[in-house]
Amino acid sequence: MTRHYNFCAGPAALPEPVLVRARDELLDYQGRGLSVMEMSHRSAEYVAIAEQAERDLRDLLAIPDDYRVLFTQGGASLQFAAAPYNLLGRGGSANFVHTGIWGKKAMAEARHLFGAAPVAASSEANGHTAVPRQADIALTDDAAYLHYTANETIGGLEFDYTPEAVRPDGTRVPLVCDMSSSILSGPLDVSRFGVIYAGAQKNIGPAGLTVVIVRDDLLDRARADMPTLLGYKTLAEGGSMVNTPATYSWYLAGLVFHWLKHDIGGLAAMEAINRRKAEKLYAAIDASDFYANPIAMANRSRMNVPFVLADDRLDKAFLAEAEEAGLLNLKGHRSVGGMRASLYNAVPEAAVDALVDFMGDFEKRRG
């Protein structure tokens, strides 16, 4: 068996110890004589798995007691609808910081459902190479909340600060954050947010699961016409088991949380590793005229590193030879082309070393 280095943007690499443990427990979970996949979500065994996962996530992110953690489905994309449904029940509009493709999709969904979705700030003018600064963020008088994307997975653009969401009259409104591609990459002050959501398939676990972290006082702001299963309050009160949850993805997420806590040593340790990985790759890109990344230094994503070759006629050869060298999924998103190396938590530093070596070698031969 050979496991290659996987730089996929999502579904992404999983920690090998997690996969090994899942394999070991696959047929017979801890002597119970059945697989986790075959358990009732209401069984004592499964409820214990689910609760442990939540406890570990709470520990990792130091989630305050007045926040609920929801394990739901539909991907981050369904949260583009769930957030406005849950937060616009008292009127007002959803305001958006637009920094790339995912933020734009979130905005488009709010607009599709409820009409107005004002842009409080945008990095469109600089080609999404630098995020708007706090002073550039202007909420509308009727803003019910402010939504932003902490890390734009396709553009490789990451916020280097947590925005404040304040209306012109000085009223603070909830901050809603799509953290799909950066959650768990380092410590986080959850108390700054009203809602955090993330699709699982990058830093949390396999696809099929969406994690939502929501402050208690926001559970009573939903629109009456909201589909039941989108409701944060409904999910919170039902322990995320209003209907059948994504049981196996939830279990695997729990194994990832356990790995982060016990093998890595928590999110500060994880952040240090992630910083080293990203620095190595950006340094290699910057040291060469053959590779380039356009993002402002302060906003370069630690998780997703897009780069282009000076001569895009070499793209095909680069990808083919990388794959031969055991470096998988380096093709940029279909909407932008070029290359992208995703360096999520489960991508080891050795993978980045191998990629940097390969890039140097490719440049020598083809540059």
| 43 annotated among ligand-binding-site residues | no
**Which residue type occupies 352?**
V
Q: Which is nearer to ligand PMP, 149 or 240 (CB)?
A: 149
**Which residue type occupies 220?**
D
Residues 292-331 within binding reach of ligand PMP (CB under 6 A): none
Q: Which is nearer to ligand PMP, 8 or 255 (CB)?
A: 8
| 77 annotated among ligand-binding-site residues | yes
With CB under 6 A as the contact rule, the residue among 10, 156, 254, 338 that binds ligand PMP is 10
- Only one of the segments 17-25, 110-118, 174-182, 315-323 lies at the binding site for ligand PMP (rule: CB under 6 A); that segment is 174-182
Q: Identify the active-site residue in 56, 102, 104, 250.
A: 102
Give SS3 for 220. coil
The whole-angstrom distance between residue 58's C-alpha and the CA centroid of its chain comes to 17
Pairing of strands 5-6, 157-158: unpaired
Residues 125-154 within binding reach of ligand PMP (CB under 6 A): 149, 153
CB of 49 to ligand PMP, least distance (A): 22
Distances, alpha carbon 300 to alpha carbons 104, 114, 220, 278, 295, in Å:
19, 33, 37, 9, 6
Q: Identify the active-site residue in 56, 136, 189, 202.
A: 202
> CB count, 10 Å around CB of 326?
14
* Residue with token string 């380096």: 330
**Which residue type occupies 49?**
I
d(CA 54, CA 63): 10
| 122 annotated among ligand-binding-site residues | no
Q: Which is nearer to ligand PMP, 167 or 340 (CB)?
A: 340
Residues 62-121 within binding reach of ligand PMP (CB under 6 A): 75-77, 102
Residue 4 near residue 327 (C-beta atoms within 8 A): yes
Which residues are near ligand PMP by CB under 6 A?
Answer: 10, 75-77, 102, 149, 153, 178, 180-181, 199
**Binding site as annotated, residues for pyridoxal 5'-phosphate:** 76-77, 102, 153, 178, 201, 243-244
